Amino acid sequence: MTQHESEAVDMVLVGAGIMSATLAVLIKELDPAINLEIVELQESGAIESSNPWNNAGTGHAGLCELNYTPELADGSIDTKKAITINTQFEVSKQFWAYLAGREGFGSAQAFINAVPHLSFVSGAKGVAYLKKRHAALSQHHAFADMAYSEERSTLAEWMPLMMPGRSPDEQIAATRSENGTDVNFGALTNQLLQYLAARPGVKVTYNQRVTGLQRMGSGWRVEVKNTRSGGTRHIDAGFVFLGAGGGALPLLQMSGIPEGKGFGGFPVSGQWLRCDNPEVVRQHQAKVYSQAEVGAPPMSVPHLDTRVVDGKKSLLFGPYAGFSTKFLRHGSLLDLPLSVRPSNLGPMLAVARDNMDLTRYLIKEVMQSMDQRLATLRKFYPEARAEDWRLEVAGQRVQIIKKDPKKGGILQFGTELVSASDGSIAALLGASPGASVTVSIMLNLLERCFPDKTASAAWSQKLAEIFPAREKQLETDPQVYREVSEASDRKLGLQG
């Protein structure tokens, strides 16, 4: 193909991670005739954020994450975010359960396992908060089975690794939800990509860097460079999705759409302590989350997790935050400086001014020694031995900086879907709880970018087959929630 020739497809999806893979499968289920190409910078899928060692693997459902249930000024607990994330995760489970019954998708047990989710606190203030949180959440049917205890004997059953060596005077409490999960998003992504590869009209190409995005009529011309051969080609597409994790912001800027102006990125790197000693690992069957330190960002909430990767169990503790100017783990140190534009300079400077405590926190984290990291671990697991743990580098997370009328700019923890007014291009920015709620985010994208098609009889019928109940119904109807959740659990092998 010469430099000026171009291929034509209906859609180009940038990045072969959980987001693009989910969107591509959804679209092909809804309209098998659609032609699409996924272009990926690395040599295979799920190398960056979706890789199982680059994230916590928590099936985020609001069961244990205390930052999703803040205490309000009047002392009450705000449960809205936890309920929203819980129902979104149930929507993800419905999609995976549907696929588990499809030929060529593979086994659900390869990527999802039942692991109880616990919240653990210490000190009088922490215990009072957790008790209030449990009382508020357990009124909602999604959390009705959550158990609370301050009894040492019960806590020793729930988290046997964490109790020995603890001072008898320490005030502690925990909640436990048996319906928690550990998800290997790397394995899930690769199963989605393999399932796609067998479909006609799907092309997944690797070692492809997007070097240009240009408006072409009602669609886009995507310039792609092969990082191995150096060759360049053009793909003309009616729709483009930028699902490249930390790499999505520079691509959104490249598109020049007005909706993308003013966004900046604040990259935060992470590290874990990892234990593979089977003697230690078998004593902990849970994901145990606690409270972030004062001044620490929400994504630094410490947790001690059972991880199941390729059938083998390990423990992860962390995350220990760090700072790098790269937007991707395999990115460039120039990523952050090159993302600065006249339109986002104001918001970025405002965030720098208002988040000095975060900057100090990150510097402190980067400077930590192994002994200091182990001291943090011992607040969870008092008898932890240094020789059982090693440092594991996690993925990069690019938190969103956006314009704010009052402050000039704010740092937003979470995900943001940005799309052009004509629905021809969309980008996903941000981080957690991203992967767990991918399906809801992608359904939102379809409704926003393809309103006529999602409203059509053909798509509506297929969506109703895949999703027996959507978020709003799951939130308000206890019986439907229970029936749909149990059906998904059966198909995913999560029961018993």
Mean predicted lDDT score pLDDT of the chain: 88
Residue 471, amino acid: E
CB 469 within 8 A of CB 477: yes
Residue with tokens 């021809």: 424
Query: Per residue in 240-288, pLDDT tens?
Result: 999 877 778 889 999 999 998 888 777 777 788 999 999 999 999 999 9
In the chain, % of residues over pLDDT 70: 84
CB atoms within 10 A of CB 429: 26
CB 171 within 8 A of CB 131: no
Band of the pLDDT at 395, cuts 50, 70, 90?
A: low
pLDDT score of 1 more than 50: no
What is the pLDDT at residue 113?
94
Q: Which fold would CATH assign to domain 6-458+460-476? A: FAD/NAD(P)-binding domain (3.50.50)
CB 97 within 8 A of CB 491: yes
What is the pLDDT at residue 2?
46
User: Where exactly are the structural domains of the chain?
Assistant: 6-458+460-476
pLDDT score of 96 more than 80: yes
What is the pLDDT at residue 284?
96
pLDDT score of 458 more than 70: yes
What is the pLDDT at residue 204?
94
pLDDT score of 496 more than 60: no
Instruction: Please measure the distance between the N-terminal and C-terminal CA atoms of the chain and give it in whole angstroms.
Output: 56
